[in-house]
Amino acid sequence: MKKPNLKGLTAAELSEFCVALGEKEYRGRQLFTWMYEKEAPSFDRMTTFSAKFREDLESRASIESLTLVEARRSAGDGTTKLLFELSDGKRIESVLIPPKTAFKGKDAGEEEEQKRLTLCVSTQVGCPLDCSFCATATMGLLRNLTPGEIVDQVIQARAYAGKPITNVVYMGMGEPFLNYENVMKSVEIITTGLKIAAKRITVSTAGWAPMIRQMADEGRKIKLAVSLHTLDDNARTELMPINARFPLEELLDAVEYYYRKTKERVTFEYILFDGWNDTDDDLRRIVKLSRSIPSKINIIPFHDIAFANPGVKRTSLKPASAERMEEFVRRLRDEHVTVFIRSSAGEDIDAACGQLAINVERKRTSAKKPTHTARR
């Protein structure tokens, strides 16, 4: 029988595990410290434990780690995509975003912490939500990640970078609110074990309104981001089918509720598409929104994902030009909207969410296929 993997268990769960082994409860807290604060990759590194206890642990449990398959660093801005293999062979990606990369131009200088090193983590293998601009969506949903697999992205990225991760954003492959329990358990471990403050953790949703309310009710201190992209219901449903289930009115009600409960400003993510969501009407709607809900807007450049499904056009939308983007932002700022331009980080390293995992998987699959000559 497969030994249980302890990575992903909270301090309370590790204490329960130790008591079941006939050990004192405090052993669980020590195990927690060894696994997350000291990042011991195996039981034999836990040198404060007796040899007998280490042997017991070894025979009854395991500590599983993700395997780093590939790291691609952008020559331009240092953004690094990490491709990980899970224990069942599936692959996910995380993105290390250095300071001055998260935001562009004068926004970079204005960001308070230039020492930040942000990690964007995945929460699912694939995603069921089918947003038409997203590479991950082309995979469908393969499975949810476990708390351990989410936490280990941070542990492995820190080891790779050789310095602490200061901020974590749940904005990689998958919809975090469709894996809510595992995501929140990983947040608990990241804050208490890896010592990253809750206010430096952001969970980004495509708009699963009921879970926004639930997160507000639970009084969590982490931040919320919402992928908005347009304030026109029909257009949003076309871009993000989730909007048919939770239309803008319901979504924005939930966001307002979240603000009332937490007094935390929400971030709205807004990919700017040429001629589609960058009109005067769009601008007026954003201004109105930011006056009714204290929030900030992140304008994001669009990475074309035509590669993701060759022959099948998922969206005909085009990225807005840099000039258009600057102008849009200037006009929003003239209206006193808090707005940043997120840098088009790592265009040379398959920057769109899911793009590296899909491209590498495609190469792996085609390499495994017998060639035409071989079949004959």
- Report the chain's C-alpha Rg in angstroms: 22
- How far is 50 from 29, CA to CA, in rounded Å? 16
Nearest alpha-carbon partner for 31 in 149, 16, 22: 16
Which of 102, 119, 121, 129 contacts ligand SF4 by CB under 6 A?
129
- Closest contact distance (angstroms) between CB of 53 and ligand SF4 is 42
Active site residue 353: yes
Active site residue 134: no
Which of 136, 146, 179, 243 contacts ligand SF4 by CB under 6 A?
136
Residue 365 DSSP SS3: helix
Other CB atoms within 10 A of residue 27 CB: 18
Q: How far is CA 78 from CA 70, 84, 178, 200, 304, in A?
A: 15, 19, 31, 21, 20
Query: Among 130-138, 143-151, 297-305, 362-370, which window interacts with ligand SF4 (CB under 6 A)?
Result: 130-138
Smaller CB distance to ligand SF4: residue 30 or 204?
204
Other CB atoms within 10 A of residue 323 CB: 8
- Closest contact distance (angstroms) between CB of 153 and ligand SF4 is 15
Give the x-and-dash track for 144-173 against ligand SF4 (CB under 6 A): -----------------------------x
Which of 14, 95, 131, 299 contacts ligand SF4 by CB under 6 A?
131
Whether the CA torsion 48, 52, 57, 58 is positive or negative: it is positive
- How far is 337 from 299, CA to CA, in rounded Å? 12
- Closest contact distance (angstroms) between CB of 309 and ligand SF4 is 13
127 binds ligand SF4 (CB under 6 A): yes
- Closest contact distance (angstroms) between CB of 8 and ligand SF4 is 21
Residues 6 or more apart whose Cβ sits within 8 Å of residue 365 = none
Catalytic residue among 93, 149, 175, 269: 93
Query: Among 125-133, 271-279, 297-305, 335-343, which window interacts with ligand SF4 (CB under 6 A)?
Result: 125-133
- How far is 297 from 270, CA to CA, in rounded Å? 7
Smaller CB distance to ligand SF4: residue 31 or 254?
254
Residue with tokens 């329990």: 181
Nearest alpha-carbon partner for 277 in 238, 307, 311, 241: 238
Q: Angle CA(261)–CA(262)–CA(266) in degrees, nearest 5? A: 115
Smaller CB distance to ligand SF4: residue 7 or 229?
229
137 binds ligand SF4 (CB under 6 A): yes
- Do the Cβ atoms of 61 and 3 come closer than 8 Å? yes
Give the x-and-dash track for 166-205 against ligand SF4 (CB under 6 A): -------xxx------------------------------
Active-site residue set: 93, 353
Residues that bind ligand SF4 (CB under 6 A): 127, 129-131, 134, 136-137, 173-175, 206, 353
